[in-house]
């Protein structure tokens, strides 16, 4: 059967600063693994340029011409981290036995990849990279991440704790992944649903090697909110519960103030009125907003838009055509 063909998929958005280091490190690792006979010589690195505005594509393309291990995939516009990953995964699927995804900033320990391959060879279709420590992350990032996992668990979403998008997927897992048709793909939530035999490999999370995080707080909140509303209807249920509670409360308050009124305290009526108007009004706004969020999701899904558009594919393109593709 021979050694498995591995493709390492790396999503890149404005990563010109870190990319030369990443390319060097990953090619070193991959050629080492090929040399040791751990993976097939047909294994490749696939850098996905997610509509970068800097020299990211130029770097990928030029390296690709010189280094046969390096391939590039250029998306027509920014599709977001998750969709860039999918573009890479599905492009590499046919030619690969297994695919490892890793961020471009080398925050994940690339020496865990040979361990992923060991697990794959033992028969695991999915291997999760799990962070042992987050010492190098900022205090803020650690706290928000912790909060996110806890919240997701409370909402009944099955996530692998402290695992991001550093993982191995076997060909069978990728084939099944393709059947998940949702527009809003949240891989961390979807991959555990595939359900094949899986393993975890632990590693130390490092600092970003260069460049800045492409996930500012605003994007992080949006990401978390998306993750929750894509996987759970608990928020809507909470609103319903809160609504019922508020109604019961206002009945109780109503009775109380009526009681006061009958026994002669006319001022109290005003207070209760204002309180209940604000309380019910606020609750209604929250509820409508939340329902709107879910309806928006349905609207998005109903359009069935493509998740990404590929501009240039160096991975599946014959070498002679590549110069014309620039
Ligand atoms: N990324 C991407 N498209 C985007 C945003 C980010 O492909 O729209 C890539 C980015 O280049 C990096 C990975 O996704 O390889 C994770 O982003 P980042 O390291 O900025 O996130 P953080 O680690 O800070 O959460
Ligand atoms: Mg990062």
Tens digits of residue pLDDT in 89-117: 999 999 999 999 999 999 999 999 999 99
Q: Domain check: are 86 and 197 in the same one?
A: yes
Beta-carbon neighbour count of residue 112 at 10 Å? 20
Q: Does one domain contain both 48 and 174?
A: yes
Q: State whether 270 and 164 are in the same domain.
A: no
Report the pocket of ligand 1 as residue ranges, CB < 6 Å: 11-13, 15, 50, 78, 80-81, 84, 103-105, 107, 213-215
The mean pLDDT of 85-92, rounded to a whole number, is 98
ipTM: 0.97
Q: What is the mean pLDDT of the chain?
A: 89
**What would the pLDDT profile of 178-187 be if each residue is shown by its tens digit?**
999 888 888 9
Position 254 confidence tier, pLDDT thresholds 50, 70, 90: confident
Domain tally for the chain? 2
Which is more confidently placed, 72 or 137?
72
* CA distance readout (Å), 317 to 74, 202, 267, 323: 12, 36, 80, 11
Whether 176 is covered by a domain: the verdict is yes
The arithmetic mean of pLDDT across residues 56-85, rounded, is: 96
326 occurs within a structural domain: no
Q: Which domain holds residue 289?
A: 233-303
Nearest atom in ligand 1 to 212's CA: 20
pLDDT, residue 124, reads: 98
Give every CB contact of residue 52 below 8 A, 6+ residues apart in sequence. Answer: 12, 13, 14, 15, 16, 78
Q: What are the backbone angles phi and psi of residue 167, rounded to the nearest 5°?
A: -155, 165
Decide if pLDDT at 209 tops 90: no
- Residue 283 is predicted with a pLDDT of 85
User: For residue range 293-321, what is the model confidence (pLDDT) as tens digits?
Assistant: 899 888 888 888 889 999 999 998 765 45
Residue minimizing CA distance to atom 14 of ligand 1: 81
Distance between CA atoms of 271 and 249, rounded to whole angstroms? Answer: 15
E strands of the chain, at which residues?
6-12, 44-49, 70-75, 98-101, 126-131, 163-170, 198-203, 310-313
pLDDT of residue 177: 97
Please choose from 23, 105, 140, 213 the residue to mutate so as to test ligand 1's pocket, defined by most ligand atoms within 8 A of CB: 105
Residues 243 and 188 in one domain: no
Q: Counting atoms of ligand 1 from 1, which one is nearest the CA of 220?
A: 25
Q: CA-CA-CA-CA torsion for 60, 61, 63, 67, nearest 10 degrees?
A: 120
Same domain, 205 and 241: no
Cα-to-centroid distance, 29 and ligand 2 (Å)? 20
Q: Cβ of 251: how many Cβ atoms within 10 Å?
A: 10
Q: Which ligand is nearest to the CA of 213?
A: 1
The answer on 188 and 247 residing in a single domain is no
Q: Cα separation of 13 and 23, whole Å?
A: 14
User: Does one domain contain both 261 and 187?
Assistant: no
**Rounded distance from Cα 50 to ligand 1 centre (Å):** 10
User: Terminus-to-terminus CA distance in the chain, angstroms?
Assistant: 36
Residues 56 and 189 in one domain: yes
pLDDT confidence of residue 318: 62
């Amino acid at each position: 059967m021979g050694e498995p063909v591995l493709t390492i998929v790396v999503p890149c958005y404005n990563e010109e600063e870190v990319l030369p280091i990443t390319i060097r490190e990953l090619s070193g690792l991959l050629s080492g693994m090929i040399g040791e006979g751990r993976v097939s010589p047909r294994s490749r690195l696939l850098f996905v340029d997610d509509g970068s505005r800097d020299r990211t594509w130029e770097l990928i393309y030029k390296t690709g011409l010189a280094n046969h291990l390096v391939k590039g995939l250029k998306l027509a516009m920014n599709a977001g981290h998750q969709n860039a990953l999918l573009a890479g995964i599905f492009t590499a699927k046919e030619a690969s036995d297994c695919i490892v995804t890793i961020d471009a900033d080398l925050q994940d320990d690339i020496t865990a990849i040979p361990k992923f391959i060991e697990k794959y060879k033992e028969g695991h279709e999915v291997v999760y990279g799990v962070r042992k420590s987050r010492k190098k992350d900022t205090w803020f990032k650690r706290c928000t991440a912790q909060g996110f996992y806890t919240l997701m668990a409370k909402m009944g979403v099955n996530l692998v704790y402290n695992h991001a998008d550093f993982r191995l997927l076997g060909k069978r897992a990728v084939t099944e992944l393709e059947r998940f048709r949702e527009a809003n793909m949240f891989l961390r939530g979807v991959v555990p649903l595939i359900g094949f035999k899986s393993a975890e490999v632990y590693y130390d999370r490092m600092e970003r090697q260069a460049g800045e995080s492409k996930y500012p707080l605003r994007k992080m909140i949006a990401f978390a909110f998306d993750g929750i509303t894509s996987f759970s209807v608990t928020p809507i249920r909470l609103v319903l519960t809160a609504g019922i509670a508020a109604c019961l409360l206002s009945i109780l308050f109503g009775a109380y103030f009526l009681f006061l009124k009958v026994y002669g305290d006319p001022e109290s009526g005003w207070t209760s009125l204002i309180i209940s108007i604000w309380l019910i009004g606020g609750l209604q706004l929250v509820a409508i907003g939340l329902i709107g969020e879910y309806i928006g999701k349905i609207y998005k899904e109903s359009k069935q838009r493509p998740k990404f558009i590929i501009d240039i594919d160096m991975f599946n393109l014959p070498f002679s055509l590549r110069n014309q593709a620039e």
